[in-house]
């Protein structure tokens, strides 16, 4: 799994916070070291002065009480936090002035920590048990007396700690402000991009695949300023939308022209076809004096012209459906249509068994009556033409919730498998030899189901070939949407 990438807003905010933190840490470290160094230097200067005063003080009388402050500590000028240790031969006197300036003797352990410091005149830091860190200077006077002087580092450490705390607080506040600022800035800068994205999303949701498409969506003028990166994206998107709109318009124009041509051609063909049929009929009715061979030829002309008329009517109907002509909408009882269609089918082929299953109180929907009748006629014609005599054909009408279902089912040979994928496409028809067709039956063009599909879709419905294994018959299920009511 790839880790989810952060949004730009989040990344910029995080980067700004990290940079502020880095700068604050660097500045804090450098300035803290500088402050500490200068404070320790000052302390060291005071330490040398304190040590000088201690060296000038009188030697402690030998054998004096250890609890008295040693002279090096009681000379004027020695302040709180000062400690001294004097080693004069075998005698050691050591003491410490606490925060209140009160004298405290040093324990043996504390003295040991101090005597470990070498008497080389160098100032160093010594941790005195129980008292904390001290800057310590050890010196030996010409009489061989060792004087160790120390000044507490506590004040310096306090100051540095306070400084660090203040600096940390400022750094945190700075980071919070930077995060807020970055968030607001990025959000403001992103808003135009979000608008551009919204435009693209709206375009993506438009149905562009067919028909007349109005592609009016554009990125707002304010978001197409080429001086900004987002503006460049917006302007590019607008240019692209312009091109797409032109291309779609060109496609629609050429589609319309082709449709118009088919419709016009079909329309124009009707009149000459009617004349041809009429003359051929005339010869059939008045055969006197016409040789047998010519009569036969005229019969062929008549049947072919009838076939061509059907083809032309179908093509005209499809061209009109393609053009999206508005349907004639009226309340139609599908049960009435079904009864009529089955009666006609029975008249056309009494050799089939016709069965009807409809609701008693009707099924009224708002549809184009002529087109719907054609749907039933085409489906029943298929069940009649593409099945052998004796086949049972069921026509059922069912009312559903907000829809009506019409099913035409037969127990004939079924739709050949190779036809199924393109069954509803134009000019799809089965191998003539495989379907045993009654003599004199109307010729097949392969437009019947294409028309059914177009009509049903124009009504917002669907048609499917119900799943059935080849050989167990064909079942076409038409679902039409719309409020359905019984007439009773
Ligand atoms: N009920 C059915 N049983 C078996 N095959 C069918 C059935 N209905 C359709 N078919 C097959 O589907 C093909 C296409 O049907 P369609 O109605 O579109 O064209 P057609 O019947 O051949 O010609 P047209 O209806 O234009 O006169 C048919 O040629 C036939 O092979
Ligand atoms: Mg057909």
Å from CA of 464 to ligand 1 middle: 14
Residue 189 has pLDDT above 70, yes or no: yes
Name which of 134, 89, 140 is nearest 113 in CA terms.
Answer: 134
Nearest CA to ligand 1 atom 8: 382
Q: Identify the pLDDT of residue 433.
A: 46
pLDDT digits (tens, 9 = 90+) for 219-234: 888 888 889 888 999 9
Q: Identify the pLDDT of residue 168.
A: 93
More confident residue, 418 or 439: 418
Nearest CA to ligand 1 atom 30: 430
Range 170-192 average pLDDT: 90
Q: Identify the pLDDT of residue 398.
A: 94
List the helix and strand counts (H, then E) for the chain: 9, 13
Which of 446, 450, 473, when mutated, tests ligand 1's pocket best, judged by the most ligand atoms within 8 Å of its CB? Answer: 446
Å from CA of 449 to ligand 1 middle: 7
Choose the most confident range, by mean pLDDT, from 1-10, 74-83, 139-148, 418-427: 418-427
Å from CA of 410 to ligand 1 middle: 13
pLDDT digits (tens, 9 = 90+) for 312-342: 999 999 998 888 888 899 999 999 999 999 9
Nearest atom within ligand 1 for CA of residue 430:
31
Q: How many CB atoms lie within 10 A of CB 363?
A: 25
Range 461-477 average pLDDT: 83
Nearest CA to ligand 1 atom 12: 429
Nearest atom within ligand 1 for CA of residue 451:
18
Nearest CA to ligand 1 atom 13: 429
CATH topology of domain 8-161: Beta-Lactamase (3.30.450)
pLDDT digits (tens, 9 = 90+) for 5-16: 888 888 888 999
pLDDT digits (tens, 9 = 90+) for 60-115: 565 555 566 777 888 888 888 899 888 887 788 888 888 888 888 888 888 888 88
Q: Identify the pLDDT of residue 120.
A: 72
User: Any idea how long the chain is?
Assistant: 488
Nearest atom within ligand 1 for CA of residue 447:
26
User: What is the residue extent of each domain of the chain?
Assistant: 8-161, 206-324, 330-481
CA 114 to CA 126: how far, in whole Å? 7
Å from CA of 445 to ligand 2 middle: 8
Percent of the chain with pLDDT over 70: 92
Separation in Å, CA 249 to CA 160, 205, 241, 242: 77, 18, 12, 11
Which of 430, 456, 472, 475, when mutated, tests ligand 1's pocket best, judged by the most ligand atoms within 8 Å of its CB? Answer: 430
CA 130 from chain center: how many Å? 65
pLDDT digits (tens, 9 = 90+) for 343-390: 999 999 999 999 999 999 989 999 999 999 999 999 999 999 999 999
Q: Identify the pLDDT of residue 309.
A: 92
Nearest atom within ligand 1 for CA of residue 476:
1
Q: How confident is the model at residue 119 (pLDDT cuts 50, 70, 90)?
A: low
CA 448 to CA 455: how far, in whole Å? 11
DSSP for 424-446, written as a single string: TSTT----TTTS---TTPPPP-S
Å from CA of 378 to ligand 1 middle: 9
- Give me the residues paired with residue 95 across strands: 84, 105
What is the layout of strands, in order, in the sheet containing 353-357? 353-357, 392-400, 403-410, 475-481, 462-465
Å from CA of 279 to ligand 2 middle: 28
Residue 181 C-beta-side C-alpha neighbours within 13 Å:
10
pLDDT digits (tens, 9 = 90+) for 22-60: 999 999 999 999 999 999 999 999 999 998 888 887 665
Nearest atom within ligand 1 for CA of residue 442:
27
CA 146 to CA 6: how far, in whole Å? 68
Nearest atom within ligand 1 for CA of residue 382:
8
Nearest CA to ligand 1 atom 3: 414
Residues in contact with ligand 1 by the CB-under-6-Å rule are 378, 382-383, 385-387, 410, 412-415, 419, 423, 428-430, 435, 444-450, 474
Nearest atom within ligand 1 for CA of residue 449:
18
Separation in Å, CA 457 to CA 60, 321, 405, 454: 120, 10, 14, 5
Q: What does pLDDT average to over the chain? A: 88
CA 174 to CA 179: how far, in whole Å? 9
Å from CA of 55 to ligand 2 middle: 128
pLDDT digits (tens, 9 = 90+) for 271-315: 999 999 999 999 999 999 999 999 999 999 999 999 899 999 999
Range 112-121 average pLDDT: 76
CATH topology of domain 206-324: Helix Hairpins (1.10.287)
Q: Identify the pLDDT of residue 61.
A: 61
Q: Identify the pLDDT of residue 391.
A: 94
Range 146-155 average pLDDT: 91
Range 182-190 average pLDDT: 88
Residue 270 has pLDDT above 90, yes or no: yes
Q: How confident is the model at residue 437 (pLDDT cuts 50, 70, 90)?
A: very low
Å from CA of 473 to ligand 1 middle: 13
Percent of the chain with pLDDT over 90: 56
More confident residue, 424 or 482: 424
State phi, psi for 129 to the nearest 5 degrees.
-55, 130
Q: What is the CATH number of domain 330-481?
A: 3.30.565.10
Å from CA of 442 to ligand 1 middle: 12
């Amino acid at each position: 799994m790839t880790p989810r990438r952060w949004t730009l807003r989040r990344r910029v905010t995080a980067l700004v916070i990290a940079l502020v933190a880095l700068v604050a840490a660097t500045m804090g470290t450098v300035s803290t070291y500088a402050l500490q160094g200068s404070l320790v230097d000052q302390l060291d200067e005071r330490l040398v002065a304190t040590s000088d005063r201690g060296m000038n003080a009188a030697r402690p009388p030998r054998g004096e009480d250890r609890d008295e402050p040693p002279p090096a500590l009681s000379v004027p000028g020695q302040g709180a936090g000062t400690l001294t240790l004097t080693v004069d031969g075998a005698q050691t006197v050591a003491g410490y002035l606490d925060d209140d300036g009160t004298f405290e003797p040093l324990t043996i352990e504390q003295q040991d920590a101090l005597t470990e410091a070498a008497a080389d005149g160098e100032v160093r830091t010594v941790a005195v048990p129980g008292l904390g860190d001290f800057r310590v200077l050890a010196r030996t006077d010409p009489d061989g007396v060792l004087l160790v002087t120390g000044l507490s580092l506590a004040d310096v450490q306090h100051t540095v700690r306070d400084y660090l705390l203040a600096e940390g607080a400022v750094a945190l506040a700075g980071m919070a402000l930077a995060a807020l600022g970055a968030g607001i800035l990025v959000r403001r800068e992103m808003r135009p991009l979000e608008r551009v994205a919204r435009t693209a999303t709206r375009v993506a949701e438009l149905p562009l695949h067919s028909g007349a498409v109005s592609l009016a969506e554009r990125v707002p003028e304010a978001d197409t300023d080429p001086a900004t990166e987002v503006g460049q994206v917006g302007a590019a998107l607008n240019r692209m939308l312009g091109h797409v709109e032109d291309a779609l318009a060109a496609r629609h124009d050429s589609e319309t022209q082709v449709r118009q041509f088919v419709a016009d051609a079909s329309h124009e063909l009707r009149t000459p076809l009617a004349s041809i049929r009429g003359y051929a009929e005339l010869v059939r009715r008045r055969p006197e004096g016409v040789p047998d061979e010519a009569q036969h030829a005229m019969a062929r002309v008549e049947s072919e012209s009838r076939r061509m008329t059907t083809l032309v009517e179908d093509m005209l109907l499809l061209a009109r459906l393609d053009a999206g002509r508005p349907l004639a909408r009226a309340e139609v009882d599908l049960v009435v249509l079904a009864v009529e269609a089955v009666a006609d089918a029975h008249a056309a082929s009494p050799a089939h068994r016709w069965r009807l299953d409809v609701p008693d109180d009707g099924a009224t929907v708002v549809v184009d009556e002529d087109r719907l009748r054609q749907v039933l006629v085409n489906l029943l014609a298929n069940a009649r033409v593409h099945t052998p005599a004796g086949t049972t054909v069921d026509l059922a009408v069912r009312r559903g919730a907000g829809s009506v279902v019409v099913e035409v089912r037969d127990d004939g040979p079924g739709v050949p498998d190779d036809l199924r994928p393109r069954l509803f496409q134009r000019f799809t028809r089965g191998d003539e030899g495989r379907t045993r067709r009654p003599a004199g039956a109307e010729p097949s063009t392969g437009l019947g189901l294409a028309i059914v599909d177009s009509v049903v879709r124009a009504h917002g419905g669907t048609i499917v070939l119900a799943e059935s294994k080849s050989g167990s018959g064909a079942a076409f299920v038409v679902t039409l949407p719309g409020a359905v009511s019984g007439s009773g």
